[in-house]
Amino acid sequence: MRHYHTSIRYGLRMAARAAALLIMCAGAARAAEPEGMVKEAESAVLLGSRPYDDPGASGGKAVGWMGSVRFDHAPAANCLRLRYAWKEPVMAFITVNDGPPRTVPMMGGKKISGTYIEHTIWIDIPANATVTIAGAFNFDSLTFVTAPSPAKIPPIEVPMPLPASAPRWDVSSDDTMATVAVYEGRPCLVSLKNSKQQWEWIRKVRPMPVPDTVVVEDRDTPVTWTYRDAARDEAAGTLTLRFTSEQPALELHSRWRARPGPGPIEHLPTLINRDTKKIVLSGTGLLAADLDLAADQPLKPVRMSAPSRVGWYGDKSEGLPLPYEILQVGSTHGLYLAYDFDFGMGVTNVETKDRRQALHRFAVSGGGIVPSDSHPNWGKTVAVITLDPGQELVGPGMHHLAYAGDEDDGANRFKRWFWKYEIPASLRDDPQEPPISICYLPARDGNPDYLIDKVKTENFASWGVGAFKTDLWHMKTGHAKSVELAQACHAQGLKLILYFGANWGGGGNVKAQWEKSHYDFARGDGAVYTPGDYHAARGFYRFLDDMIAVGKGKWRYENCSNGGNLRSLDMFRRMTWMTHSDGQGVGFYFSHINDWSYMLHPIQIKCDMLVGPGEGLLPDQPGEVSDFRAFLLGSILTGDPALWQPTFKERFKEICKLYNTRQRAILRGADVYHIQPKAPWLGIQYDNPTISKGSVLLWQNGGPASQTIKLKGLDRSRTYTLAFQDDSSQNAKLVGAQLMDDGVTVKFGVNKSEIIWIE
């Protein structure tokens, strides 16, 4: 680990609100601490320290220990720093009294040369807060200290070592102003600003990563790049810089794009092998971003859990990150960074001595992820990609969005861009998409005759259902009678979702079944392409693109993949929806909607939530109204109607009516505001500026019967009508400024949930 910065890695970043909580992990026989950490600790104020079996601590009050700890503190300080050591691998759940629960996967617990791997995590914690640490812990020690005041940090110097003669071009969206130049024979990003806030994010110019060495005939061969020319396409909003290498003969296209409206500046590189011999790329030559950044105030990294297909060392846990990073500065502005690929790792290192500075890079990976250059496996687990003569490497697109506002504002600007330009046209352009879908469980789903009969006799369309789904159990019969099933569905006004499982093997069966039965959705699961490398992934994307083109909007892809573990912008561009999890219940779904909606439109996140025992907020009382309302968080799949209690069908029909007549239109392209992400109350706000309508979904889960909810993203001078789904006596007309500054008090009734419709 470098001594001058803190490594904050994807999957280990959390945030709440005001200052910072730093968690450091070390072994029982603690190794020497990084020099920078020691110096910072010396300038801090000790709040409390104790061994793991001590029931109390100085500077505050600690309650409980094994499995759960609460530490009440009231320091007049900017932030709190927590240091502890663990004796075995743990999963930590960090909560504070004014912020959401945060799951912290503590990677490690594995001895290396007699010591433990050290990890650091920044979490913003306000003063006068209650810190709760829950999980299966076995601690050696716990220390609380306050960090130095940011006011003592000297001003940032912004060196810009770029000759005035270097060719450069401006590229701008409504949000982001960027300047691209040629520097040392390579493309580089020399300026990155928000058009309103105008802060310069680039602290020091660093050339964009391009391969400087490739392997030719088993020999490392240096690559010398020469800038050739630039081409602008004003209609497409692109700037393409072309670079070449003579030996080996390579060509690099560095394409930058800014499209009208809100959104990022995109960098879309392509490497072409013009040589007569194949080349092999590996190591840090496959970096796609390397940025030296600085903010005007301490940075707060915002990361929300969720994995892509390859996570930390191939782990597929749902606690791993989506391919984005937010660097937030107070509530005034920030930087949103995202990348395309389904495999790879973004790394942001925030300085410990000056938390206004950060380094950001992205690397393509193979079977494992490259966390940072401080990790012992850096450069050893990256992908190895072979390019034959004439073959192209379409690099991972990097997206740079400098925005004004808080992290919700940044995420919403990104999603508006994605909805306008990137989301599948079949979803964006059809107001009836996505439909509500329903399915049966194994004993019935594996019987095609039973399914055909139910489709013909149940009249699901009258419920408000728009699609009928089969799963693994039907596929095991070889999609028997799929033509009859498709005909029965289409005759009833239903779309058919066929399950195809893992390893599509080029998609032959997927295409053949569509040509035969013209089903509507192909549901993939597990490793839909093998091996898990670059060429297999690109081949899978090409197949999806071909099917979408051939289907002319009538063939759609559903991304299941072990409960939605295939997560990347490349997938989001091609899928109608994804299964959020193989886990069940309101809590699972709300957590994933809350976290993943910083990057992904909730309308693309499908619940796959059965109605039955153990599925609701109250496991012993399934099928309550509050449980059914969780369906309105995103798109809907449910079942098994053969097992439902008599009241379930009517409650589900009411949800179908609300979704089809009100909520779906709001969700389609909605801004998302994370207004109440922490239990015992759960709440989220959707606002669709295109139709000037919104909704707030709230659940009471053991909390008080009333609470004041502050809304976000409204016009301060406009009067809004609030209509409560259950209790019309709470209906109100209030000005946007009141709703955002003072909030609205909500009282729960017997349903332990409420919906507020906003117009």
Q: Split the chain (759 residues) into runs of 10 and give each run's mean pLDDT.
A: 22 22 26 30 40 37 37 40 39 39 35 27 43 42 42 54 86 96 90 92 85 90 95 96 96 96 95 95 68 84 48 37 83 91 63 66 47 33 79 89 97 98 96 96 88 96 97 83 96 96 76 93 84 80 92 92 77 92 76 88 89 56 80 93 87 96 98 84 93 94 82 97 96 97 88 91
Cα three-residue angle 667-737-694, rounded to 5 degrees: 15
Give residue-wise pLDDT tens across range 360-418: 666 565 433 333 333 333 333 456 788 999 999 888 789 999 999 999 999 999 999 99
Q: How many helices (H) and strands (E) does the chain have?
A: 17, 49
Terminal alpha carbon distance of the chain = 52
**φ/ψ of residue 589, rounded to 5:** -65, -45
Q: Count of CB atoms within 10 A of residue 184's CB?
A: 12
Residue 72: what pLDDT?
Answer: 43
C-beta of residue 468 within 8 angstroms of C-beta of residue 460: yes
Of 433, 451, 430, 553, the closest CA to residue 499 belongs to 451
Which residues, 6 or more positions from 214, have their beta carbon under 8 angstroms from its beta carbon?
220, 221, 223, 248, 250, 279, 280, 281, 285
Map out the domains of the chain as residue ranges: 6-152, 168-222+234-416
Give the pLDDT confidence score for residue 433 in this predicted structure.
97
Confidence at residue 588, expressed as pLDDT on a 0 to 100 scale = 76
pLDDT of residue 344: 59
In sign, the C-alpha dihedral spanning 368, 372, 378, 382 is positive
State the DSSP code for 365.
B
Beta bridge partners of 187: 182
The amino acid sitting at 360 is: H
Apex 538 CA angle, 341 and 271, nearest 5: 80
Q: What is the CATH number of domain 6-152?
A: 2.60.120
Q: Are 363 and 288 in contact (CB under 8 A)?
A: yes
So what's the pLDDT on residue 603?
Answer: 97
Sheet holding 345-350, edge to edge: 6-9, 345-350, 357-363, 287-294, 202-204
Structure tokens belonging to residue 201: 């994010």
List the CATH code of the domain at 168-222+234-416.
2.70.98.60
Average model confidence (pLDDT) for the chain? 75
Asked whether this chain's domains 6-152 and 168-222+234-416 adopt the same fold, the reply is no
What is d(CA 405, CA 411) in angstroms, rounded to the nearest whole number? 10
